[in-house]
Amino acid sequence: MPAPAVTVDVVQRYDDRSWSDDGPTRGVEKVVEAGRVLAFPNLPFALADSERRFLDPRWADVKAKNVSVRWPSGELRGAVGAADDLQALRAMIVRFAEQSEALALRLFPHYRGHLRRGNTSFRPTDVAGRVRSWRQDDTRLHIDAFPSNPMQGTRLLRVFTNVNPSGEPRRWRVGEPFEAHAKRYLGAIRRPLPGSAWLMATAGITKRRRTEYDHVMLQLHDRAKADAAFQSTSPQAHADFAPGTTWVCFSDQVLHAALGGQHMLEQTFLLDVEHLHRPETSPLRTLERLLQRPLR
Ligand SMILES: [Fe+2]
């Protein structure tokens, strides 16, 4: 594979050692909204001794992608085991959700009252072991966009933490800024077929209407993953997140790929564009500016 011509500087490191209100970093909305990854190399998610047994793929249902807790119900999904074990596993994941929320609200006080808790997931399986189609292959650079779950412009803010017990980093690649990425493919993207969004929502293919924003984001996701030259030669950098590291980014904006690693927790937060510190930095407003029309 030819080496990429340009590397990018996407990761911003902070020395915080606490999840709660007493940590030093706060008010960094501008940093995350600029498309950077905020990394906290000294912010581990502490497991109780009795929780270390959960660092094993046997707890994950082979049919499910992840073990997760869904909100607002708080229901555990995708896990297999005895009832008391699953209760303890759920408690661990819920604690991560609460600590992530405290961290996010300290880092981004502007989002208070507007940040909605999405799924909390626990991923005890090895990234490298997953056999998938090119479209589902997350070892290729992509922005997050989901065929069945249209976001309609709502942002995806994610908090990740590596809980690997044997020193193995979560290995990512990160890529070019969102606007440069959009410009790379936007000229080739056609408008959705009239009636197709209604049809997909009515048939239950999508959870809600796939807006033109969702259509463009899915096209960017798919075109990037299918483009071998882009994958190997576009501006990019490797980013390793060692065990004990927590990192935060808007995954609908940051080009990312997960190359390897095992045992991670991830919390998704949803945030409407108008509640960003600078809404014009969002993928929705960026695409609307480039296309010179609203994407509804
Ligand atoms: Fe992703």
* Digit-coded pLDDT (tens) for 265-279: 999 999 999 999 999
Cα first-last separation, the chain: 39
C-alpha of residue 233 to centroid of ligand 1, in Å:
19
> What average pLDDT score do residues 145-161 get?
96
C-alpha of residue 5 to centroid of ligand 1, in Å:
23
At residue 116, the pLDDT reads 97
C-alpha of residue 255 to centroid of ligand 1, in Å:
8
How far are the Cα atoms of 12, 21, 103 from residue 168, in angstroms, in the given order?
21, 29, 24
The number of beta carbons lying within 10 Å of the beta carbon of residue 273 is 17
C-alpha of residue 90 to centroid of ligand 1, in Å:
23
Residue 159 token pair:
């908090």
CA angle 140, 142, 144 (to 5 degrees): 130
- Listed range (56-70, 223-237, 277-291) with the worst mean pLDDT: 56-70
At residue 65, the pLDDT reads 72
| 287 CA to centre of own chain | 20
C-alpha of residue 252 to centroid of ligand 1, in Å:
8
Eight-state DSSP code of residue 145: -
C-alpha of residue 54 to centroid of ligand 1, in Å:
24
DSSP string for 65-87: S-EEEETTTTEEESB-S-HHHHH
C-alpha of residue 35 to centroid of ligand 1, in Å:
14
- Listed range (82-86, 192-196, 232-236, 243-247) with the worst mean pLDDT: 192-196
* Digit-coded pLDDT (tens) for 49-91: 999 999 999 999 988 778 999 999 999 999 999 999 999 999 9
